[in-house]
């Protein structure tokens, strides 16, 4: 995730990490099993994350969201490699994203800390979820999906979920007021970045079938090793850097390069 310019009548899915699936319409012949089976797995992972978060099982909810991110990446890749892209798959993928990266992080944030803040807590949780829905709708009807406007929903979910993962892994199961306020600001910020006009780097620009220098593979191996050292903190750091890249580029173009 060659690019085709979709029309509003033929929207695409918001598979920011793995790419969208489109090009063939859903008709009487049925649907492709393999990519939609993977999307169903992502949908199930998102639903399980919601149930686990509501039950206070925060680590299982975090792991389920992480699994949904992996499956969300895989379904688009599988669809392209096996030539099973379809309009149905794109729309199904978008609905799965809404559950896994819109509803699940909002419920997790509310269950872990925002519920202690009363009415403002559930309002901010709703704002995040609504922004995820708006982000997906805007992406689906965009004239050019090669340009990412607004933070991708999996990245926004990573900001919320991985920050909670860092806290839970540090033994913080009942956050104090200061930490709850920080979670409130982070959740609201992640939601607003999704509906912002900041431009973000699109993973669709990465061509997996092209040859790369050998040193690039070495760097990839090193990156995996670094993530393995402390997954919650490293993944959160990566999400923070990517999330800030949009505003940083905007500031650079408007105030620094323009001088």
* Three-state secondary structure readout of 73-136: HHHHHHHHHCCCCCHHHHHHHHHHHHHHHHHHHHHHHHHHCHHHHCHHHHHHHHHHHHHHHHHH
The residues with which 199 forms a beta bridge, in sequence order, are: 149
- On the question of pLDDT at 135 being above 70, the answer is yes
Q: Which two tokens stand for residue 112?
A: 């872990």
Model confidence pLDDT, tens digit, residues 221-255: 888 888 888 999 999 999 999 999 999 988 888 87
- On the question of pLDDT at 220 being above 90, the answer is no
Whether 130 is covered by a domain: the verdict is: yes
CATH number of the domain to which 40 belongs: 1.20.120.1760
Alpha helices for 7-86 (secondary structure H): 33-54, 58-81
Whether 75 is covered by a domain: the verdict is: yes
Whether 14 is covered by a domain: the verdict is: no
The whole-number pLDDT of residue 190 equals: 96
- On the question of pLDDT at 195 being above 90, the answer is yes
**Residue in the block written with tokens 């040859």:** 211
pTM greater than the 0.75 cutoff = yes
Whether 7 is covered by a domain: the verdict is: no
Report the number of secondary-structure helices (H) and strands (E) in the chain.
Answer: 9, 2
Whether 21 is covered by a domain: the verdict is: no
The whole-number pLDDT of residue 17 equals: 42
Give the span between the Cα atoms of 53 and 37, in whole angstroms. 24
Give the span between the Cα atoms of 120 and 197, in whole angstroms. 25
pLDDT-based confidence at residue 87 (cuts at 50, 70, 90):
confident
Number of domains composing the chain: 1
> Is residue 13 within 8 Å of 39, Cβ to Cβ?
no
Whether 11 is covered by a domain: the verdict is: no
Model confidence pLDDT, tens digit, residues 64-81: 999 999 999 888 777 777
Whether 9 is covered by a domain: the verdict is: no
Range of 199's domain? Answer: 33-256
Whether 6 is covered by a domain: the verdict is: no
Query: Considering only CA atoms, which of 123, 17, 33, 24 is closest in space to residue 65?
Result: 17
Give the span between the Cα atoms of 72 and 89, in whole angstroms. 12
In total, the chain counts a number of residues equal to 259
Give me the chain's average pLDDT, please.
Answer: 83
The whole-number pLDDT of residue 126 equals: 97
């Amino acid at each position: 995730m060659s690019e085709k310019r979709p029309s509003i009548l033929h929207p695409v899915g918001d598979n920011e990490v793995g790419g969208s699936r489109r090009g063939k319409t859903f008709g009487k012949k049925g649907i492709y099993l393999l990519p939609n089976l993977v999307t169903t797995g992502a949908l199930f992972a998102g639903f399980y994350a919601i149930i686990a978060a509501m039950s206070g099982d925060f680590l299982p909810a975090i792991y389920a969201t992480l699994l949904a991110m992996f499956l969300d990446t895989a379904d688009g890749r599988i669809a392209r490699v096996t030539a099973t892209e379809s309009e149905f798959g794109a729309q199904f993928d978008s609905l799965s994203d809404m559950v896994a990266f819109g509803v699940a992080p909002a419920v997790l944030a509310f269950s872990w800390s925002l519920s202690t803040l009363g009415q403002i807590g559930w309002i901010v949780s709703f704002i995040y979820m609504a922004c995820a829905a708006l982000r997906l709708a805007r992406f689906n009807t965009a004239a050019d999906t090669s340009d990412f406007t607004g933070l991708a929903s999996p990245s926004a979910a990573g900001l919320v979920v991985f920050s909670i993962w860092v806290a839970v892994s540090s033994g913080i199961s009942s956050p104090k007021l200061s930490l709850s306020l920080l979670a409130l600001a982070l959740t609201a910020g992640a939601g607003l970045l999704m509906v912002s006009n900041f431009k973000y780097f699109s993973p669709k620009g990465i061509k997996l079938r092209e040859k790369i220098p050998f040193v690039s593979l070495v760097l990839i191996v090193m990156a995996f090793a670094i993530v393995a050292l402390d997954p919650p903190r490293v993944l959160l750091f990566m999400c923070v850097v990517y999330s800030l890249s949009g505003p940083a580029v905007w500031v650079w173009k408007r105030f620094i390069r323009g001088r």
